[in-house]
A and B are shown apart, each in its own frame.
Chain A
Amino acid sequence: MGKVSTFTIDGVKCMAGEGSYIVDAARQNNIYIPTLCDVQGVPPKGACRTCTVRVNGKLMTSCTSRVHDGMEIENNVPELNDLRKSIIEMLFVEGNHLCPTCEKSGNCELQALAYRYAITVPRYPFLFPRRNIDFTHPRIIKDHNRCILCKRCIRVIKDKDGKNIFAFLNRGFKTRIYVDPDLAENLTEELAQKAVDICPVGAIIKRGQGFETPIGRRKYDKHPIGSELEE
């Protein structure tokens, strides 16, 4: 084992391996920092900014910043929580997130964060963009209405040669996830399921199945996201 760094999160003394990402270091000390685009064990992207913390007075994403000795990290404070809440609200108004119709409802991380922050209504006006649903792949359906562009599918799903099957198409407001047509066949049943599971929202769903888990037994029905760390 390498060196250990000591630092504080909201005044609580913590320890973690030198050079680990703040979000992982916090987890090791049973402190929850909310994340959306982050996947444990996969190189971070800092795409969603939900995990923003304040380190020595400066705002930074905790999934991409590493801990150092003597760091003073602010996490669960009203100002940062409101900032995170506003990011979640922005994601809700920027797409078409109709929870009552969504197969992922109850297992959705975006929704779970909204529950955690008890968002009743976004502070921003709804944009109601016109987005398509892509049924072209034999194993998955891509619902662009729900995509939050976290890049999880791009970063995690690789074929046996290590190539990315998913990619971004277009730029700015028109950006959407795209399955490389040359590699579409490499999205095996197993990889398709992995893509569905890794998607934090309901943007990638399995063909021919839906609403598998009854209401009341879904991941976030009874306990808020992050509560497993805080017990």
Chain B
Amino acid sequence: MQKPVIATTSLAGCFGCHMSLLDIDERILELAELVEFDKSPFNDIKNFTRQCDIGLIEGGCCLDENVHVLEAFRKNCRILVAVGECAIMGGLPAMRNGIPIKECLDEAYLNGPTVRNTNEMKIMPNDDELPILLDRVYPCHEVVKIDFFLPGCPPNAELIWNALNALINNSEMDLPYEVFKYD
């Protein structure tokens, strides 16, 4: 039987969820036996090379580029899992939601205490190469269909491990109370 293929990405996230996956310690060797990795920061594969079984999404959508990546994951992965608070509800980046984008940019580049006296030319980054900020941060399931959600900031390594095992073995997930947390 062919090994299941996993792809992972960090959208508007801090890579904490990826770090948490590495927190499964020596079981990472077991995981390497069980699955193969395609597009992922773990192996630095930038583009999908084949159809994947499981896509792990960290972070919500804060830029147009995040939306494109997320859509590519939906297209190339059979099962999508939103991993962590940011993927599920936007997380810390979503603290700007509710505040008009102009106000956010003005605060960041013109009026904030660290830029007020240093940005004399009143420059706001506007290069064509830069991804475009969305009007607010979107939880992943508001952009594409997400199949499973793993809460936590980051999700406990045991929770990720249990979820991956359940998905790989097509079995019921073990969900102990101590590992199901939002912080």
Q: 0/1 per residue, A213-228, Cβ < 8 Å to B?
A: 0010000011110000
Please tell me if the beta carbons of A99 and B88 are within 8 angstroms of each other in the complex.
no
Number of A-B contacts (CB under 8 A): 69
Known: A98-B92, A106-B183, A121-B146. 5 other contacts (CB 8 A): A100-B182, A121-B88, A121-B151, A126-B97, A222-B177
Q: 0/1 per residue, B142-180, Cβ < 8 Å to A?
A: 100010111101000000000000000000000101101
- Least distance between B15 CB and chain A CB atoms (Å): 15
Shortest 6 CB-CB distances between A and B: which pairs? A130-B98, A128-B97, A100-B153, A99-B182, A120-B149, A105-B183
CB-CB under 8 A from B141, the residues of chain A are 121
Give residues 140-197 of A contacting B (CB, 8 Å). Answer: none
- Least distance between A112 CB and chain B CB atoms (Å): 10
- Least distance between B55 CB and chain A CB atoms (Å): 16
Minimum CB distance partner of A131 in chain B: B98
* Cβ-based interface call for B74 (8 A): no
Report if A99-B98 is in contact (Cβ < 8 Å); known contacts: A126-B139, A128-B136, A224-B177.
no
CB-CB under 8 A from A114, the residues of chain B are 182
B: contact size bracket: 20 to 34
Please tell me if the beta carbons of A118 and B136 are within 8 angstroms of each other in the complex.
no
Residues of chain A at the chain B interface (Cβ within 8 Å): 96, 98-102, 105-106, 111, 114-115, 118, 120-121, 125-126, 128-131, 215, 221-224
What are some 20 contacts across the A-B interface (CB < 8 A)? A96-B94, A96-B97, A98-B85, A98-B95, A99-B153, A99-B182, A101-B92, A102-B183, A114-B182, A120-B148, A121-B82, A121-B141, A126-B89, A126-B94, A126-B142, A128-B97, A128-B98, A130-B98, A131-B98, A223-B177
Minimum CB distance partner of B151 in chain A: A120
Q: Which of B91, B142, B182 contacts A105 (CB 8 A)?
A: B182
CB-CB under 8 A from A223, the residues of chain B are 177
Q: Which of A96, A100, A111, A221 contacts B178 (CB 8 A)?
A: A221
* Cβ-based interface call for B13 (8 A): no
Cα distance A44–B142 when bound, in Å? 38
* Cβ-based interface call for B99 (8 A): yes
Please tell me if the beta carbons of A126 and B92 are within 8 angstroms of each other in the complex.
no
* Cβ-based interface call for B90 (8 A): yes
